[in-house]
Amino acid sequence: MNILVFVKQIPEISKIQFDPATNRIKRDQVPLIINPFDKRAVEEGIRQKEKHGGHVTVVTMGPPSASEILNSSLRMGADRAILISDPVFAGADTWVTAKVLSSVVLKLKPDLVLLGKYSLDGETSQIPPEVAVLSGYPFKTSVSKLDFVDDTNAIIEQELETGFATYRMKIPFLVSVSEKINRARFVSPSVPDMSSRIEKWSASDTGASVKGSDSPTLVEATERVESFRTVKMLSDIQEVADLVRKKIADEPAHTSYSGGEVPAPNFPKHAVVVSYNDARSAFEIAGKLSDLGLQHSFAVVVLGNDDCAKIQGMRCNRYIKLNNASIKGFSEYLVKYIREKKPDYVVFSSTVEGREISSYVAASLSLGLTADCINLDIKEGKLIQFKPAFGGGMVARITSRSSPAMASVRQGIFPISSGQHDIPYEEVDLSSSFPEAILSREELSSEFRPLRDAKTVIGIGKGLVKKENVALVTELADVLNASVGGSRPIVDLNWIPRQQQIGLTGYSISPSLYIAVGVSGHDNHVVGIRYARTVIAVNKDPGAQIFKYADYGYIGDALQFVEDLTRLLKGS
C-alpha cells in the first residue's frame, strides 16, 4: 500500500509569547513542533503499513526548519520524507497550500492520503478536503477509526459533534484524523538521526503552477486578545447559587426573540446561508446576515436540509431545502447555485459537515474561505471575517479577493433571532445524486447535551476524583439545563465522550455561563473558554491557574460543591 502523509510544523501554542510593541509572536522564542493531529496521521500511516505492508511517505511544505518534523517522522518509521520549500510559496493561504499538496498527490498517486484534522495554529480544517477535491479523491474528515477489510475497501468512523458516522471507503481515498484514532508511539533516543534522507523539493518539483501571491484571502490586520477577566472570590456556596440563578434568569426564557426584520427580497445582491443538519446555526447566521443586509442592502437565502416546521421564524427571504442530499450532492448543488446565481457572500456553520461542504465548494470554484470566524462585518461591500488563531490568542481580520466571499462561523457566537414573516420554501430532490456508502450513524447518550447548543456548560476536571462522580454533575446539569464538558485528561480517562472535550484539541465554546469544577486551568483548556460570557471557577487550591481566567471563584472541594449547589438549586 502506497501511503502519503502531509504534516505541518507549528509553534507550541502553550509557549507562545507576544511582543507588546508589535502584537506579533516572538517566533525565535517559541519551540516548533509537529502539529499533534499530524503526528497521529503519521502514526496511523505506519500502523497501516505494519498491518498490510507498503510504503509511507511524509511530506511537509514550509521553511528549512520544518525538516526537523520530517526527521522525527522517519525516526518513527516512515520510509521517505520530502520537504517542499520555495520562496515563491511565501504568504500561501489554505487554497494555495491545497493546490501545492494536491499536485504532490497527483504526482505520487498514493492509495491512502492522511492528514491531521486541523493544525492548532490555524484551526481551519479545510486543507484536507480541499486537497482531496483538487486531487479527485473521495474523502472524510475527523476520522477516529480506520480499518481495511480487504485490498480495496476500508471502514472508517467519523467523529461528529453529536456522535459518530460509519462509512465504507474505496481505495484511493483521503482522510483527516482526530485525536481519538491512536496514540503516537514513543521513539527511543537511541534511534539515529535521519536528516540526511530528507529530499528537498522546489516549486518546480511539485508540478504546481501557483504562488503565494495567488492566495484568494488576505489578512489585513491581526489583534492580540488580552485576558479581560478579574476574579471576584465568593465566600460561601449560597453566594454561588444566587449568582447562578441570576445569570440564568438574565437569559431569555427562550433562545430566540421575536420581531427581527428581514431585508427586502428584491435587492440585486444576496447572501447565502448554508445549513446541513444544523438548523440552530442557520438561525444564528441568518439573523446576523439579515442585520447586515438591512444595513447594506442585500437579501438572505438559506440552502439547507431542514423540514419546514424547523425553520419557521428564520430571518431569511427564501429557504431552499435539498431533499435526500449526501454531502457531495449538497456540495455539487451549491457549486451550481453559486455559478448560476452569483451570490455576494456565502456563510457556513463550522461543523464537521459544514467544513467539508465549504471546502468542497472553495476548491471546486477556486474561492477564498475563512474558517471558524467569531464575527462578520461589511465594509465598502467587502465581507470582513474575524478569525481566531494560535488558540484564540490572536484574531485576524481577513477579506476575500475572490467572489463570493466565503466564511464558516463558530457555533453559538451569534444570538438566535426570529421574525414573524412567511418564508418562501422550495424543495429540490437530490436523491439520485452522489449516494454515500454510510453504514450507520450513532448519537451520543442523551445525558451529554451537545456543547454547541448549551447556554450553560459545566466543565469538569480531575478534581472530581473518579468517573462515578460524573453522574452527580449530570444531575446538576439537568437542573440547570446545561451541557457537561471537560478537559482533555477527563476525556483520556473515558469519563466523558471526546465530543465533550473543551480546549485546544477539543472545542471552543461560547456559553453565557461556564462553571469550571475541579479544573486546574491548563493553557490547553482555557483557550477553549475564552469567549464564554461569565466563568465561575471552583477549586480547592487557592493558587489554581483557573482562577486567572474566571470572573468568579470559589475555594472548595469539587464534589462537595456539586452536591451542595444541586441541593440549593433544587430547593429554590
The pLDDT-based confidence of 572 (bands split at 50, 70, 90) is low
Residue bearing the bigger pLDDT, 74 or 570: 74
% residues pLDDT > 90 (the chain): 73
Mean pLDDT of the chain: 91
**Domains of the chain and any CATH numbers:** 2-214 (3.40.50.620), 224-251+444-570 (3.40.50.1220), 270-439 (3.40.50.620)
- pLDDT tens-digit map of 486-533: 998 999 899 999 889 998 778 888 899 999 999 999 878 888 898 899
Digit-coded pLDDT (tens) for 353-370:
999 999 999 999 999 999
What nine digits make up the cell of 403?
467572489
Average pLDDT on 206-224 reads 91
Backbone conformation region of residue 188, classed left if phi is above 0, alpha if psi is from -120 to 50, else beta: beta
Distant-in-sequence, close-in-space partners of 256: CB < 8 Å, separation ≥ 6: 283, 313, 416, 417, 418
Give pTM, 2 decimals.
Answer: 0.87
How many angstroms from the chain centroid is the CA of residue 499? 12
Question: Is the CB of residue 54 less than 8 Å from the CB of residue 2?
Answer: yes
Distance of CA 551 to the CA centre of its chain: 26
CA gap 306, 301 in Å, rounded: 14
Instruction: Give the list of residues 6+ apart from residue 97 with CB closer than 8 angstroms, or none.
Output: 61, 89, 127
- The answer to whether the beta carbons of residues 49 and 55 sit under 8 Å apart is yes
Q: How far is CA 47 from the centre of its chain?
A: 26
* Omega before 172 within 30 of 0, i.e. cis: yes
Q: Is the separation of the CB atoms in 501 and 507 below 8 Å?
A: yes
Q: Is residue 321 over pLDDT 80?
A: yes
Report how far residue 276's alpha carbon sits from residue 513's, in angstroms, rounded to the nearest whole number.
27
Mapped onto helix, strand or coil, the DSSP state of residue 217 is strand
**How many CB atoms lie under 10 A from the CB of residue 341?**
11
The pLDDT tens digits for 425-475 are 999 999 767 777 888 988 887 788 888 778 899 999 999 999 999 999 999
Round to whole Å and give the CA distance between 395 and 221.
9
Q: Indicate if the pLDDT at residue 151 is higher than 50.
A: yes
Measured from the Cβ of residue 282, the count of other Cβ atoms closer than 10 Å reads 26
- Report how far residue 261's alpha carbon sits from residue 421's, in angstroms, rounded to the nearest whole number: 8
Rounded distance between C-alpha atoms, residue 526 and residue 516, angstroms: 10
Contact 319, 327 (CB under 8 A): no
Note the pLDDT tens digit of each residue in 60-76: 999 999 999 999 999 99
> 358 with 345: CB under 8 angstroms?
no
pLDDT at 256 over 60: no
Q: What's the grid cell of residue 41? A: 496521521
pLDDT, position 19:
67
> Of 282, 289, 287, 279, nearest to 404 (Cα)?
289
Range name among 257-261, 506-510, 536-540 with the lowest pLDDT average: 257-261
The grid coordinates of residue 112 equal 491512502
Q: By percentage, how much of the chain surpasses pLDDT 70?
A: 94
Residue 401 backbone dihedrals phi, psi, to 5 degrees: -85, -20
Residues 6+ apart with CB under 8 A from 514: 456, 457, 458, 459, 529, 532, 534, 535, 536
- Which has the closest alpha carbon to 381: 353, 362, 354, 400? 400
For residue 81, what are the β-bridge partners?
Answer: 58
Contact indicator for 285, 273 with CB cutoff of 8 Å: yes
Question: SS3 string of 134-159?
Answer: HHCCCEEEEEEEEEECCCCEEEEEEE
Using N-to-C axis directions, what is the helix angle for 558-570 and 470-480, rounded to 10°?
30
pLDDT of residue 392: 65
